[in-house]
Amino acid sequence: MQHANFRSEEFMPEIGQNLSHYTLVRKIGKGGMGEVFQARDQRLGRDVAIKVLTKEFARDADRIARFQREAILLASLNHPHIAAIYGLEEHAGTNFLVLELVEGETLADRIKAGPIPFEESLRLALQIAEALEAAHEKGVIHRDLKPANIKVTPKGMVKVLDFGLAKAFAGDKTETDPLGSAALNSPATQSGVILGTAAYMSPEQARGERVDQRADIWTFGVVLYEMLTGGQLFGAATFPETIAAVLTKEPDLKRIPAAVRPLLRRCLQKDSNRRLRDINDVKLELEEVLAIPNEMPAPSVAAVEHRTKLRMMLPWLAAALIAGGIIAGLAVWRLKPPEPHPIARFSCSLPADQTFVPDVQVIAISPDGSRFVCATNQGLYLRMMDQLRGRIIPGTEGQVGNPFFSPDGQWVGFWSERDRQLKKIPVSGGSPVTICAAAQINNVQWSAHNVILYDEEARRIMRVSANGGTPEKILESKNEHLFAPQLLPDGTNLLLALSSVTRYRDLKVAVQSLESGTRKELFAGWGARYLHTGHLVYVQGGTLFAVPFDADRLEVTGDHVPIVQGIAGAPPRYAVSDSGALIYMQSEGESSEKRLLFWVDRNGKEEALDAPPRAYVYAHLSPDATRVALDIRDQENDIWIWDLAGRTLARLTFDPGMNWGGIWTPDGKSVAYSTERSGAANIWLRPADGSGSPEPLTNMPEAGLFAESFSPDGKQLLITGQIPPFNISLLSIGASAAPKPLLESKFDQFNAQISPDGRWMAYQSNETGRTEIYVRPFPNVNTGRWQITTEGGTRPSWNKNGREIFYYLPPGTMMLVPVEMGTSFKAGVPRVLFKGEYPAPVNRTQYSVTPDGKRFLMIKDAGAKFGIAALQQQVNIVLNWTEELKQRVPVK
């Protein structure tokens, strides 16, 4: 490290700016020492946290020198629960710390949501104690331990931040005046900047005395108290009141479970001589409590007295019960049927920072009904029925959907969009285990035979061992959509939903024999599930129905009775267990599927278009940005044109089958789109003004094609298939020849976009195991290749100036990569443009960019505007609902 050459002016860091070899990516927060940014270390290829020091700090050369000496010691703390300090550096007069970047929420955020469950609190506290022990062994005291300085990663690992920085920041003043002589009267103190620290100071630190490791033990006790209770121990309205509480208020430990009350009492002794001296003693006590099987908070004194009285009465009660049993036995010759379990209804809302993943199945319930899981933008959210709070399963972070439980409820399976793989993970978390590669899926079932069934691309039913392996195709149809397979108890008949490719909304529930291949259609509906009560439940028109069903004769034996109305989603978002638990998401008609169009600038500022709310899937701007080609799927699944100036919406396609996609020709006169006819999906072209008749661009039997991008002269069109592995082909417009393969491999390669000058092609591929963005020369694609992302990326799009490539990073992040295109190709460092709740279809590009590259046309769920945001964040739960089912839909 070196001493700084200080500047007189205040440094104002900006996103995208370089400090030495670190590129600032986004702002994380602001503290007393300065602003904190996420940055990219270009030399080592890793993400770090950069803390740019304040002007007052940077101007104090003596303080910088002391800090550098202290930082050498802090950098030696190599422990998994301590966030590392990589160095103190200076660039162009700017001093900054380089720190380990830790993802996750702070303990303060967790505590704001309420008390943390007993066992989880102790496990987190044990990790904090281990961090303190490692530091104390090297003579380093934290001095500023508090929930805001403790992060919990998505995998449940504690990381203690800013270790020892309190002393490093204040220098020698830490020992005699921990806040500095002016702190008590400073405006910052009154506004609460230092107040958060004051509430966690040890009494000796608050008095300005010298401190040792016992100060950290005191603060540890305060933090553990707040974890268990959800409230502050010494919080007050002002700084002086807070200090007074620390010095005089005796902690009230009545709310603390008795199992750890003695430990906290010894940690929170105001006289440091009576306090525990070694954090290792704290750790050992925590380990002992956690080692007790099923340890629960100890009962209150009143509860103990009550139980003692009961034990004294047991002999009398036993005699009375025996006598009563004899009398009852003489009077009643047969037992009455057990009383039905009471039906309970309640709802569960997701945490504020989580939203459900769009366009896939998002909820699942364990077979015993004790827990359920939701697919959210943060990962798989798991909640026990008997708990008020849930958690993200560590290891499921990222774009995941279609969750499902193992028969014993100990594993959760899911589909990863980013990896396009079916995976499983223990409910406790860990590293996901890949079951198999899988294209787009809608529903999955893990059967009692340790076999997983799923529908792939809605065209085939696949079977694979839950232990992993190569999937086996057990059913396929070229003229039908196939959904939601479930193996019936006999193990030979398959329950499923099906529809024709031209009328996919006309869904029917059917049973098909896997041995003979014979099929029996039962009734209209889909999402059917067989219950051991002898019923089928299914959805039709947004209503959940139940009907008695004989699984031996494969016949409906009674009336269809509605159970719940307004089931949301396609596929229907509900799940049932044989134990009598039902979970579902509700909508008002189809309003939950409606979406709005928004302009979003590079800073993330939104401006709603006045286009009507519809079920928009794809939105593509015309070359002159005056019209939008819209793929709308709430009526007949057609392409529509929205005129931005005239504010009119006109239907472009009228084919009986499904129409999707919709991209403009370079002259803006026509739109190319995919349509299904006679069981094949080909690409058609129609004038955007609605005149004339659609013209087929491809005519391939059994094809499933998607239009991607026209060359600038409009003479060539990139297309990809709908069935994995996706590969890129090139079609010459006006030629009678079929599309020619351009880029083929065993990996998925699609969303191909030709550059504005027609010389390059950007596309996405999962060849590394994760979807990334690549660029190749066009049309000679085998003469070069550049990977321009390393942290994932989908749906690339060129800026018309040819100097930028935009791409989408699920869920909801728009990214930018600067590029140079001369005799060769060169890409810069990716950076975040903006983030938001912008749903994306599983595979294709859903956004569009204006010709000047300044605004993005995005699709957003309409729930907030239409007053149904709470429904989109909520799961409804009914326990013992089958009791009512038995009464309303009896099995004959």
Q: Is the pLDDT of residue 339 over 60?
A: no
How large is the average pLDDT for residues 533-542?
86
pLDDT of res. 263: 93
Dihedral sign of CA atoms 190, 196, 201, 205 in order: negative
Mean pLDDT over each residue of the chain, to the nearest integer: 80
* pLDDT band, residue 192 (cuts 50/70/90): very low
Q: What is the pLDDT of residue 188?
A: 32
Tokens representing 88? 């103190």
DSSP string, 141-174: --S---GGGEEE-TTS-EEE-STTHHHHHHTTHH
Mean local confidence (pLDDT), 355-359: 72
Q: Global pTM?
A: 0.45
Confidence at residue 891, expressed as pLDDT on a 0 to 100 scale: 57
pLDDT category, 417, cuts 50, 70, 90? confident
The pLDDT > 90 percentage for the chain reads: 32
Chain centre distance of CA 96? 32
Please give the pLDDT value at position 843: 72
**Average pLDDT over every residue of 514-521:** 89
- pLDDT of 370 reads 85
Lowest mean pLDDT among 215-224, 240-249, 497-506, 627-636: 497-506
Average pLDDT of the residues in 534-563: 88
The CATH number given to 344-591+872-888 is 2.130.10.10
Strands (E), 648-739: 648-651, 659-664, 670-677, 680-687, 695-696, 705-710, 716-721, 728-732
pLDDT for res 476: 85
Check residue 503 and give its pLDDT. 54
pLDDT value of position 300: 38
Is residue 582 within 8 Å of residue 565, measured between CB atoms? no
Sole residue written with tokens 């603390």? 256
* pLDDT above 60 for 333: no
Q: Mean pLDDT throughout 500-524?
A: 81
What pLDDT does residue 212 have? 87
pLDDT band at 572 (very low <50, low <70, confident <90, very high): confident
Q: How far is CA 54 from CA 27, 30, 94, in A?
A: 15, 10, 9
Q: What is the pLDDT of residue 347?
A: 72
450 vs 454: CA distance, rounded Å: 13
Query: pLDDT tens across 13-36, in order?
Result: 778 888 888 999 998 877 656 788
Measured distance CA(794)–CA(813) in Å, rounded: 10
Alpha-carbon span 726 to 750, nearest angstrom: 6
Question: Which numeric CATH code is attached to 105-291?
Answer: 1.10.510.10
pLDDT of 311 > 70? The answer is no
pLDDT per residue over 792-834, tens digit each?
899 999 999 999 999 998 778 999 999 998 778 999 999 999 9
The pLDDT, as a whole number, for residue 224 is 95
pLDDT at 60: 65
Query: Which range in 202-216, 421-435, 579-593, 774-788 is most confidently predicted, on average pLDDT?
Result: 774-788
pLDDT number for residue 331:
43
Task: State the CATH architecture for 595-861.
Answer: 6 Propeller (2.120)
∠ CA 643-646-651, nearest 5°, is 45
CB count in 10 Å sphere of residue 650 = 13
Phi, psi values for residue 559, rounded to 5°: -85, 155
Q: In the beta sheet, which residues pair with residue 352? A: none
* Pairing relationship of beta strands 85-91 and 813-821 according to DSSP bridges: unpaired
Report pLDDT for 329. 45
Query: Which of 54-63, 689-698, 749-758 has the highest average model confidence (pLDDT)?
Result: 749-758
**Radius of gyration, CA atoms only, the chain:** 32
pLDDT tens string 263-291: 999 999 998 888 998 998 899 889 888 88
Q: Give the range among 544-558, 825-839, 853-867 with minimum mean pLDDT.
A: 853-867
> Looking at 157-161, 233-237, 804-808, 835-839, which range is the least confident one?
233-237
Q: Which residues have CB under 8 Å from 254's CB, separation 6+?
A: none
Residues forming a β-bridge with 721: 705
Residues 422-436, buried b or exposed e (16+ Cβ, 10 A)?
A: bbbbbbebeebeebb
* Domain residue spans of the chain: 18-100, 105-291, 299-336, 344-591+872-888, 595-861
- Confidence band, pLDDT 50/70/90 cuts, at residue 72: low
In CATH, 18-100 is 3.30.200.20: yes
Biggest alpha carbon–alpha carbon distance for the chain: 101
pLDDT in tens, 234-258: 877 666 677 778 888 888 898 898 8
Q: What is the pLDDT of residue 199?
A: 86
564, amino acid identity: V
- Mean per-residue pLDDT for 177-190? 33
| Average pLDDT of span 374-387 | 84
The pLDDT of 569-587, averaged and rounded, is 82
How many Å apart are CA 35 and CA 38, to the nearest integer?
10
With residue 808 as reference, give the H or E element that holds it. strand 804-809
CA 198 → CA 160, 204, 223, 233, 307, distances in Å?
Answer: 18, 12, 13, 12, 43
How many other C-beta atoms are found inside a 10 Å radius of the C-beta of residue 470?
8
DSSP state of 274: G
The Cα-based distances of 660 to 685, 783, 847, 878 in angstroms read: 12, 33, 15, 38
Q: Distance between alpha carbon 403 and the CA centroid of its chain, in Å? A: 12
Top-ranked range on mean pLDDT: pick from 303-307, 450-454, 585-589: 450-454
Q: What is the pLDDT of residue 676?
A: 77
Average pLDDT over residues 415-437: 87
The confidence score (pLDDT) of residue 64 equals 67
Report the percent of the chain where pLDDT is more than 70: 79
What does the pLDDT read at residue 724? 53
Which has the closest alpha carbon to 797: 787, 808, 805? 805
Catalytic residues: 144
Geometric angle at alpha carbon 81, from 80 and 87, rounded to 5°: 75
Answer for the pair 572, 566: CB distance below 8 angstroms, yes or no: no
Token reading at 841: 């279809």
Q: How many residues does the chain have?
A: 892
